[in-house]
Amino acid sequence: MMQDTHLIGVYRRHPVTLARGEGARVWDQEGKPYWDFLAGIGVNSLGYHHPDVDRVLKDASQLMHTSNLFWHQPGIDLSQRIADITDGMWSLWVNSGTEANEAGIKMMRRIGHDQGRYHIITMTGAFHGRTLGSLSATPHQSYQEPFQPLVPGFVTVPYGDLDALAQALAKWNPCGVMMEPIQGEGGVVVPPPGYLAEAVRMIHQAGSLILFDEVQTGTGRTGNWFGYQYEGELGPDLITVAKGIGAGMPIGGLLVAPKWAQAFHPGDHGTTFGGNPLASRMALTVIDWLDQGGLNHVREMSSKLEQGLGQLQEAYPQLIQAVRGRGLMWGLKTSVPAGSLVQQALAEGLIVNAAQPDVIRLLPPFVIDETAIAACCNILGTVLDQASRH
């Protein structure tokens, strides 16, 4: 069916054409329902057809886009709301996660420029995007190799290893360090307790900047505004966001501590679409939803989902080696290929994905309820039961 198109094949798509959604459910063209525990890879934070999202879309036609040569109220309001929830950070709006990271990489270079500091330390297993700067920060051989030469100056250290970070800081005198507070594409990898806080302390002591890539973990996903906050208020210099903040509207953002807000000057960066009124209003809507009880809801649902997944691990210890994550971001480390379990789940009416060959990832919409969680765990149970008989 859908293979017969002119869409360039950079994704291995499932043979399913999705047509509509409601809450945490989607239906394909043939009318088959699915519980969506992937949510457009962490994007549809408010699920499908949410009344707040619908309202923004309806009102948008008044002023959907204007260039960044003018001010508009949603953009001003969004930057104010971000400042309120981050202790005064400034924001620069773009259209995606990779673009947010491009902006962050440029800003770290801009700040380091006068001191001749340009190296950027990244982490093994990281994923920061596919454009050339972000790809250079994504140490993944098969993603990088066909596109050599990449942007120079990126150095990789093992994620979670403070000694290696200390050595690299001393050796390279970098302008900045980039990391995800929990690695998403890397397979939902949570670093050892205390790592983030100590890493930030060391990075700042070395006169370097810390950029937390919160594209996947940010704006509510882990039950806090930002993923790094499970280790306290660490005072990051830069944060990048995208995915869930737009609830399906493409928007990414670079958030910058007040002391660096003047580092970019007119002409240093730009984007035609970035932060347009429609995208800004959608982001404001998501922030309002999180603020008005949404964050609590994520935490409540998190403990229920964690419990359900834990029970699956107890029932199938030979198939599930670990359950890891926070909030509504979970990974099941499997001892059999995750891809085939994901396909089985799809056949049974559940959408999840294999973030790694041995990790099933769940990134459900924030609006899930206990019924959705029970349905998800039931289907996973069926799939694991079938696999255990092979």
Residues that bind ligand PLP (CB under 6 A): 96-98, 101, 127-129, 180, 184-185, 213, 215-216, 242
Query: Nearer to ligand PLP by C-beta: 206 or 328?
Result: 328
Neighbour count for residue 144 (Cβ, 10 Å): 15
261 dihedral zone (left: phi>0; alpha: psi -120 to 50; beta): alpha
**How far is C-alpha 124 from the geometric centre of its chain's CA atoms?**
17
Are residues 125 and 157 in contact, defined by beta-carbon separation less than 8 angstroms?
A: no
Among 226, 311, 243, smallest CA distance to 101 is for: 243
Torsion of CA 325, 329, 330, 336, to 10 degrees: -130
Query: Nearer to ligand PLP by C-beta: 177 or 206?
Result: 177
Query: Nearer to ligand PLP by C-beta: 238 or 312?
Result: 238
What is the C-alpha to C-alpha distance for residues 192 and 248, in angstroms, rounded to an integer? 32
What is the C-alpha to C-alpha distance for residues 76 and 187, in angstroms, rounded to an integer? 36
The pair of three-digit structure tokens given for residue 184, joined into one six-digit string:
């998403």
Q: Which amino acid is at 148?
A: Q
Supply the minimum distance, in Å, between the C-beta of residue 367 and ligand PLP.
Answer: 21
Among 155, 152, 176, 181, smallest CA distance to 260 is for: 176
What is the C-alpha to C-alpha distance for residues 362 and 348, in angstroms, rounded to an integer? 16
Supply the minimum distance, in Å, between the C-beta of residue 167 and ligand PLP.
Answer: 25
Supply the minimum distance, in Å, between the C-beta of residue 183 and ligand PLP.
Answer: 8
Query: Nearer to ligand PLP by C-beta: 102 or 306?
Result: 102
Supply the minimum distance, in Å, between the C-beta of residue 185 and ligand PLP.
Answer: 5
Query: Nearer to ligand PLP by C-beta: 199 or 242?
Result: 242
Query: Nearer to ligand PLP by C-beta: 180 or 306?
Result: 180
Supply the minimum distance, in Å, between the C-beta of residue 265 and ligand PLP.
Answer: 25
Residue 55, H or E segment:
helix 51-59
Supply the minimum distance, in Å, between the C-beta of residue 143 and ligand PLP.
Answer: 12
Supply the minimum distance, in Å, between the C-beta of residue 74 and ligand PLP.
Answer: 21
Query: Nearer to ligand PLP by C-beta: 100 or 157?
Result: 100
How far the first Cα of the chain sits from its last, in Å, is 30
